[in-house]
Structure 1
Amino acid sequence: MLLTLFSTFGSEALSTSAILGYGLFLIAVVAIAVSSQRWLLWYLFGGMGYWLAVEMIHSLLTHWFVWSEWHNYVVAMGISWLPLGAWVLYRALRYEDVSRSMIQEREL
């Protein structure tokens, strides 16, 4: 029955343990989706999307520069953290006046 279900993507190349693993993963995702904890799926899909972005940056770096695999991954991870750093810097600079007012309020 599993081979019939998975025949659409060529499961003949997959081992029994791979089919079992995919099945358990699918059951876990469906169980989370119907539970009250479905917000956990955003973390799951967000993490997969983030790692896909890191892999894309790594692939581009591999084609552009002649660095080792390790250096490419380190640079790709650094580049992927740039938007977070920019957002934190923006928030810190934008709400600096709020921080000053809080300091003045605490001094009183």
Structure 2
Amino acid sequence: MALTRDFKETILARVQADPKFRDALLKEGIETMLAGDVDGGKAIIRDYIKATVGFEKLGAESGSSPKSLIRMFGTSGNPQAKNLFAVISCLQQLEGLTLHVTAQRHGRGA
């Protein structure tokens, strides 16, 4: 389902006004990828980047070209783990945020 312009503008405004929402959006993008939905996670992180730092600044901060970053998080992008984790690390630093992975058993063997 394509997002409407109004919806994207609403998310942008909320990200810029609400630090907890901003943090949650980045966390959700990473958790979505860890759950196996890499394309969904990339889309969330792409929206996060657009609403916060932007691809130009992220490129300058991470040492990657903005065009490469845009392709990496695009619908057909297939980032190498090294590049993806470098971007996530940079986003955490820029936000002053440290994310942690917590293991939880569920389903079989719980």
Normalising to structure 1: TM-score of the pair?
0.29
Larger Cα-atom Rg: 1
Output the TM-score relative to the length of structure 2.
0.29
- Could you say which structure has the higher helix fraction? 1
